[in-house]
Structure 1
Amino acid sequence: MKILIADDETPIREWIQFSIERGNHPDFEIVGVAENGNDALELALEHHVDTVITDIKMPGMDGLMLMKKLLEKMPYVSFIILTNYAEFSYAREAITYGAKKYFLKSELRGQDILEALLEIESERAALLEAKEEDCYSNGYLDIFTCCHRLDDDAFIRLFWQKHHFMEELDFVVVALRSRSSEGQKEKLDGFIRDQKLHILRPVLRNESIYLILQAESGELLKEAVQAFVSYWNEREPGIIVSSRSLHGIDRVMGGIEEAERMLQYDFFYKKGFFPAKIAENGERLERNTIKKECRKLLNRVMHEDRDTLNQDIDQWFSFFVHVPCQDVGWAKEACMSFVMGLEEIFLEYCKNSQEEPEIDRGWTLDKCREFCTYIIEELYSDNYLNYSQSVREAIQYIHDNYGNQDLSLKEVAQAVYRSPEYLSRRFKSETGKNFSVYLMLYRLNQAKELLLCTDMRIYEVAYAVGYAAPSYFSKVYHDYMGVTPEMTRCQQSDRKSE
């Protein structure tokens, strides 16, 4: 097993490496160590790693972005996630990308890393033992090697020829999530037997099934796909997607990738058929509007009455009633980011809460909305409404006026009809932060949003969040955020390139 370690803290990197080497496992090889996400991506692709142990928070490209980019190129790579942050929302998003384990650094032991690696090795060994002539023991075709040799055209061609791909025919890839139900493979085989057109052995990759149908014309393929949708919905209703009609053995893997992207619709819908050609024609989402409304909603939590806030959250989720395929991945991330932001507010207000949110691999749009409802109810309950009215009003005033360079404790105190001395004491007592520290951190977080989501120049961002001197802003940003504004801006470039 080729292992890569990525963490911006040198002691952590060295300790993990030492722990693995001390375990003296003959099949564990550390092929690379990186201190940021960009270097980790380059090393992972260079060495075709099997497992990545990565911090979530790193300079440049963070761990979640590293996972996404690697899975696009190497869909079978396994991940172990490390973080200093107790917010389980980060684990939730990592789990959705397929992280095998999630550890808090403060609680991590060397034995934990070794046990996680052994578990991953055991899973991989079970898959390999089950294979017979490119197939799993359950009869599904395994394309693991194809995914690792995408640049080897000769190998790809030979593989699909061996499994009876007919180059003269058009094809379409139909995909669905494996439900591990009894007789699922037999039901697929039953459909294949009853059809007169050419259908390859079903492919299994991760938790998805791909059926490659071939026919002499696009019209025949369309009829075959509709027949499958009807057949399958009678037996196991759920999301079914398809690629466009394609031609050529060199496009098979691309067709599978397109169908896999379409499978992200299962986040938004419980059932239905979504062909790529039709989904492409949908009206694009207004991404900037959605992001702005998201930030506004999060800023209003605890400063707006509960019913109004719930109505506005419902309105925000209605942006995703119809999602075109070009936006499906982005829309899923936007929903998860909103959940993460709301959960961070919950953890900030409810410091004494001992209940850890459940980490679930099956998050959907409905579950996100239900979770938000739960969080709002908890935040607005008598047990957790910990801030006094004057402090809540002061916080809201800061959020509304942070761009004013002259904003001061005296001004805020006047706005909420309290003396500066009284407000200062209450603010520190209830929030755990001095007024000046809270204001600074809020400004810096707003600056981070502007650096990630706009093309404003860094000095323009400094002015926008209330700093008269851009050089001083850069110093404060680096001291408290751990990275320079320029490094945060690089993350924006990474997201755009994605």
Structure 2
Amino acid sequence: MLNILVVEDEAPIRDWIAYTVDNISEEFKVLASASNGKEAYELAVKFNPQVIISDIKMPIMGGIELTKEVKKVMPDTYIILLTNYAEFSYAKQAISCGVHEYLIKSDIRPKELKDVLTGIYENIKDSNNSLNTTGTEVKNNYELDENKYSKAIAKSMEYIELNYKESISLGEISKHVYLSPEYFSRLFKEEVGENFSTYLTLFRMKKAEELLKNTNMKICQISNEVGYVNSSYFSKTYKKYKGVSPEDDRY
């Protein structure tokens, strides 16, 4: 069961969200609702919800301040912020304080809410399942940076490390962390400092360099090993990012 707190100062919207969440899945339960961040914080401490759906602008205490306060005492709580404002400045503030998702109120539909909450529920269930040894080691590496990256970005970086040998697209990885491609792309650039495709390429080039210097594998084999079917394209990419060809970097 996914326990949820709804926070919205406009009663009709608050009631609609609570009603919708309660009815889109038997796995979702609204524990309580609040009309401002201060009231919501008190309820959060009392009920310890797994998810808080909150308006970003409210009297007394807004959604961003609520997020900061909740994260101090319940860092694992998933926060979904709602707003009528589409400016990225609001999203940027939300991202920096650990918000999981950012939605425009006028665009919200039951299906969108269900998709976001289902993604969170799957994340929580996944975190409770045992992983194989390799997966555990990788996961632990990113847990060391839990204060640096949000859960979604840490999970995407973990996914890259486990699957860089395969074809990975922005759409695929954003789906894996249950975010829209647009939001994931902005969030990744904001937290990591470079876009997703550049990060993936640099990661693969680093792995290729390790293989070049520590094995006797052929260039075509290394190309396949780091996710490139076309070895010629791999060599061009390697030289672009490393400044030297794979052949020359080996010696």
Per the alignment, residue 75 of structure 2 pairs with 75
Secondary structure of the residue that 1:85 maps to in structure 2?
Answer: coil
Per the alignment, residue 61 of structure 2 pairs with 61
Report how far residue 124 of structure 1 moved: 1.1
For 1:59 and 1:361, the matched residues in 2 are separated by 31
For 2:63 and 2:120, the matched residues in 1 are separated by 19
What is the identity, as a one-letter code, of the residue corresponding to 1:129?
N
Per the alignment, residue 6 of structure 2 pairs with 5
For 1:114 and 1:40, the matched residues in 2 are separated by 22
Per the alignment, residue 90 of structure 1 pairs with 90
For 1:96 and 1:17, the matched residues in 2 are separated by 27
- Structure 1 residue runs of 5 or longer lacking an equivalent are 141-183, 186-202, 211-259, 265-355, 368-498
Question: Quick check: 1:139 aligned with 2:136?
Answer: yes
Per the alignment, residue 190 of structure 2 pairs with 363
1:43 to 1:130, Cα distance in 2 relative to 1, 3 A: same
Report how far residue 107 of structure 1 moved: 1.3
For 2:131 and 2:68, the matched residues in 1 are separated by 27
Query: Could you say what the CA RMSD is over the residues aligned between the two structures, in angstroms?
Result: 2.9
For 2:56 and 2:36, the matched residues in 1 are separated by 10
Deviations 1:16-47 (A, max 9, x none): 01111221x22211111000000111111111
1:76 to 1:131, Cα distance in 2 relative to 1, 3 A: farther
Deviations 1:377-429 (A, max 9, x none): xxxxxxxxxxxxxxxxxxxxxxxxxxxxxxxxxxxxxxxxxxxxxxxxxxxxx
For 2:48 and 2:11, the matched residues in 1 are separated by 23
- Structure 2 residue runs of 5 or longer lacking an equivalent are 150-182, 195-251
Per the alignment, residue 40 of structure 2 pairs with 40
1:73 to 1:361, Cα distance in 2 relative to 1, 3 A: farther
For 1:10 and 1:361, the matched residues in 2 are separated by 34
For 1:362 and 1:73, the matched residues in 2 are separated by 27
For 1:362 and 1:50, the matched residues in 2 are separated by 26
Q: Which has the higher contact order (CA 8 A, sep 6+)?
A: 2
Which structure 2 residues correspond to residues 182-261 of structure 1 after superposition, within 5 A?
207-209=142-144
Please tell me whether the aligned partners of residues 96 and 361 of structure 1 are also in contact (alpha carbons under 8 angstroms). no
TM-score normalized by the length of structure 1: 0.29
Per the alignment, residue 52 of structure 1 pairs with 52
For 2:103 and 2:83, the matched residues in 1 are separated by 7
Per the alignment, residue 249 of structure 2 pairs with none
How many residues are treated as equivalent by the alignment? Answer: 159
Secondary structure of the residue that 2:58 maps to in structure 1?
Answer: coil
Report how far residue 112 of structure 1 moved: 1.2
1:137 to 1:77, Cα distance in 2 relative to 1, 3 A: farther
TM-score normalized by the length of structure 2: 0.56
For 1:30 and 1:137, the matched residues in 2 are separated by 37
For 2:134 and 2:37, the matched residues in 1 are separated by 37
For 2:122 and 2:33, the matched residues in 1 are separated by 24
For 1:33 and 1:137, the matched residues in 2 are separated by 42
For 1:6 and 1:131, the matched residues in 2 are separated by 35
For 1:19 and 1:8, the matched residues in 2 are separated by 17
* Percent identity (aligned): 32
Structure with greater Cα Rg:
1
Please tell me whether the aligned partners of residues 92 and 361 of structure 1 are also in contact (alpha carbons under 8 angstroms). no
What is the identity, as a one-letter code, of the residue corresponding to 1:359?
R
1:17 to 1:105, Cα distance in 2 relative to 1, 3 A: same
Per the alignment, residue 123 of structure 2 pairs with 123
For 2:46 and 2:14, the matched residues in 1 are separated by 20
Secondary structure of the residue that 1:81 maps to in structure 2?
Answer: strand
For 2:114 and 2:4, the matched residues in 1 are separated by 12
Which structure 2 residues correspond to residues 160-175 of structure 1 after superposition, within 5 A?
none
Secondary structure of the residue that 1:102 maps to in structure 2?
Answer: strand
1:45 to 1:361, Cα distance in 2 relative to 1, 3 A: farther
